[in-house]
C-alpha cells in the first residue's frame, strides 16, 4: 500500500479565504485597491494591541525598513542569536552594518541575554530578539539590557504569532516587531509580512520607506521625499490575510493541539521539545525535538527514515556562523551543539492523528 505523503507543513485555506481573494481579484481595483490592505492592518493591530501596523511583501522587508528607519548603517553593530534563519540577519548586512552573532540558551534556543551583555560595544545600536519556532526570548531581561545601554530592541516574531510573554503578545514589546505570512506560517498570505510598532514617528518613517520614499503628506504627485523601497503587500494577498485573521485563534489552537499530541507520546524518550515557561504561551509554530547530548543519534538517519515512510523532514536551523557569508564570525558552543541533535516535526491544521502516530513511530525507533 502506498503511504500518503506527510508534508512538514502546509497552510489552512478554506472557503472564507477563497471568497475574499475572489472579491479582491474581481473588485479590488481603483478606489478599492487598498481596501483589504487597510482591513488586514487593522485586524492585526487589534489582535496584537499595537498602535501601528504596515503590511509588507515579506518579514525580511519589514525588518530591512525598520532597521533603516532607525538609521542603522555602516560601522554599526546589531546583536543577534546564532541560531536563526538568514532572513533575520540579512537586512543588517543590506544596510552595511555588522551582525554580532551571540550564543543562544540551551532550553529556549533563543538569544542568551548574558551573551548579549558581553557583546555590547560602543558601536552596538540594536538587539534583535528572534522568537525561534514560537519559543519566546526573555523579554524582561532584554528590555532592561536595551534600556540600560540605550539600544533599540527589535522583535522578529516571524514564527511566533500566538505566543505570549506574561500577557503581552510576541512582536508587541520591542521598538518594533516583524511578522511573516509565508506559506509555512500559522497565518499566511502566501508571501507577506507585517511591521508593527507603538512609536508613531518610527511608523511614519517606515510608511514612507515602504512606498518608494513617498510621504503620505506630500502633495506633489509622484514626488518621492527620499530614496525608499518597494515592500508593499498586494490587495489580493491582504484579502487572504483578512480571512486568516478571522480564524487566527482557531489556527493557533490547531498548532497547540498538534504539539501536545507529540509531547504526550514522546514522554519517556531521551529528548525535549519547545518549552513553555510559567506565565507564557507558546504558539508552537514548529514542534521541535532536541535529543539529549549523551544519547547516540544521527539526524541524517532520521531524515532517511522519514523519507522511507513518506514523511517530509525539516532540519533545525544551522548556526549562522557556519554559513559562508558569515565566515570569520565567532563560534558559539550551545548553538553548535544544538543543530545536529534537533529536527522539526510535521505540523499543519488538517494533519490526522494516524499521520502523527506515523511520525512518532519513526522518531521513537531511533532509540531502540
Does residue 82 share a domain with residue 223?
yes
Residue 4 lies in a domain: no
Does residue 272 share a domain with residue 319?
yes
Q: Which residues contact 349 (CB under 8 A, 6 or more apart)?
A: 11, 12, 251, 254
Length, in residues, of the chain: 368
Provide the residue-wise pLDDT of the chain in tens; the chain has 368 residues: 688 999 999 999 999 999 999 999 999 999 999 999 999 999 999 999 999 999 999 999 999 999 999 999 999 999 999 999 999 999 999 999 999 999 999 999 999 999 999 999 999 999 999 999 999 999 999 999 999 999 999 999 999 999 999 999 999 999 999 999 999 999 999 999 999 999 999 999 999 999 999 999 999 999 999 999 999 999 999 999 999 999 999 999 999 999 999 999 999 999 999 999 999 999 999 999 999 999 999 999 999 999 999 999 999 999 999 999 987 777 899 999 999 999 999 999 999 999 999 999 999 999 98
Does residue 176 share a domain with residue 93?
yes
Residue 357 lies in a domain: yes
Does residue 229 share a domain with residue 259?
no
Spatial CA neighbour of 154 closest among 168, 141, 167, 142: 142
**How many structural domains compose the chain?**
2
For 330, half-sphere exposure in the C-beta direction (CA atoms, 13 angstrom radius) is: 18
Q: Which residue, 213, 246, 279, sits at the end of a domain? A: 246
Does residue 51 share a domain with residue 176?
yes
Residue 3 lies in a domain: no
CA distance 262 to 17: 29
Cell of 324: 559562508
CA distance 89 to 334: 19
Q: Which residues contact 220 (CB under 8 A, 6 or more apart)?
A: none
Provide the 10 A C-beta neighbour count for residue 239.
Answer: 26
Q: Which residues contact 138 (CB under 8 A, 6 or more apart)?
A: 105, 108, 110, 113
Cell of 19: 471568497
Cell of 268: 519517556
Residue 42 lies in a domain: yes
Cell of 288: 521541535
Spatial CA neighbour of 109 closest among 58, 160, 61, 181: 160
Does residue 311 share a domain with residue 203?
no
Residue 6 lies in a domain: no
Q: Which residue, 203, 227, 246, sits at the end of a domain? A: 246
Q: Which residue has the cell 549523551?
A: 294
List C-alpha distances in Å: 266 to 121, 348, 361. Answer: 43, 19, 10
Residue 8 lies in a domain: no
Does residue 75 share a domain with residue 26?
yes
Residue 10 lies in a domain: no
CB burial readout 323-362, b (16+ within 10 A) else e:
eeebeebeebebbbebbebbbbbbbbbebeeebbebbbeb
Q: How close are the terminal C-alpha atoms of the chain, in Å?
A: 25
CA distance 98 to 252: 35
CA distance 208 to 65: 10
Does residue 253 share a domain with residue 203?
no
Q: Residue 128: which CATH number?
A: 3.40.640.10
Does residue 265 share a domain with residue 240?
no
Residue 214 lies in a domain: yes
Q: What is the pLDDT of residue 331?
A: 80
Does residue 252 share a domain with residue 242?
no
What's the domain range around 353?
Answer: 248-365
Residues β-bridged to residue 168: 165
Q: Residue 313: which CATH number?
A: 3.90.1150.10
Q: Which residue, 246, 276, 311, sits at the end of a domain? A: 246
Does residue 195 share a domain with residue 282?
no
Does residue 275 share a domain with residue 209?
no
Q: What is the pTM of this model?
A: 0.96
Amino acid at each position: 500500500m502506498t503511504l500518503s505523503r506527510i508534508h512538514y507543513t502546509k497552510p489552512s485555506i478554506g472557503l472564507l479565504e477563497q471568497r475574499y481573494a475572489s472579491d479582491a481579484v474581481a473588485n479590488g481595483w481603483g478606489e478599492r485597491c487598498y481596501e483589504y490592505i487597510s482591513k488586514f492592518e487593522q485586524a492585526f493591530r487589534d489582535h496584537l494591541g499595537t498602535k501601528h501596523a504596515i503590511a509588507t511583501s515579506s518579514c525580511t522587508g519589514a525588518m530591512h525598513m525598520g532597521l533603516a528607519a532607525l538609521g542603522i548603517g555602516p560601522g554599526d553593530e546589531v546583536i543577534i542569536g546564532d541560531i536563526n534563519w538568514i532572513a533575520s540577519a540579512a537586512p543588517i548586512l543590506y544596510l552595511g552594518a555588522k551582525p554580532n552573532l551571540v550564543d543562544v540558551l540551551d532550553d529556549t534556543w533563543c538569544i542568551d541575554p548574558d551573551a548579549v551583555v558581553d557583546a555590547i560595544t560602543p558601536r552596538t545600536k540594536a538587539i534583535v530578539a528572534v522568537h525561534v519556532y514560537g519559543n519566546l526570548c526573555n523579554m524582561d531581561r532584554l528590555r532592561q539590557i536595551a534600556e540600560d545601554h540605550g539600544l533599540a530592541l527589535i522583535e522578529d516574531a516571524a514564527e511566533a504569532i500566538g505566543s505570549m510573554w506574561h500577557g503581552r503578545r510576541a512582536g508587541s514589546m520591542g521598538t518594533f516587531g516583524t511578522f511573516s505570512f509565508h506559506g509555512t506560517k500559522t497565518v499566511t498570505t502566501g508571501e507577506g509580512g507585517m511591521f508593527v510598532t507603538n512609536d508613531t514617528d518610527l511608523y511614519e518613517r517606515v510608511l514612507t520607506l515602504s512606498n518608494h520614499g513617498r510621504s503620505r503628506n506630500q502633495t506633489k504627485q509622484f514626488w518621492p521625499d527620499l530614496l525608499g523601497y518597494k515592500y508593499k503587500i498586494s490587495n489580493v494577498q491582504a484579502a487572504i490575510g483578512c480571512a486568516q485573521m478571522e480564524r487566527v485563534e482557531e489556527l493557533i489552537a490547531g498548532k497547540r493541539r498538534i504539539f501536545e499530541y507529540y509531547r504526550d507520546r514522546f514522554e519517556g524518550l531521551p529528548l525535549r521539545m519547545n518549552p513553555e515557561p510559567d506565565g507564557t504561551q507558546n504558539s508552537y509554530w514548529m514542534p521541535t525535538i532536541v535529543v539529549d547530548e549523551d544519547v547516540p543519534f544521527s539526524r541524517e538517519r532520521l531524515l532517511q527514515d522519514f523519507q522511507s515512510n513518506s514523511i517530509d523532514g525539516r532540519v533545525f536551523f544551522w548556526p549562522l556562523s557556519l554559513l559562508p557569508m558569515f565566515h570569520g564570525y565567532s563560534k558559539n558552543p550551545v548553538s553548535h551543539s544544538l543543530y545536529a541533535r534537533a529536527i522539526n516535526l510535521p505540523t499543519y491544521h488538517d494533519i490526522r492523528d494516524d499521520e502523527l502516530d506515523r511520525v512518532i513511530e519513526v522518531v521513537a525507533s531511533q532509540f531502540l
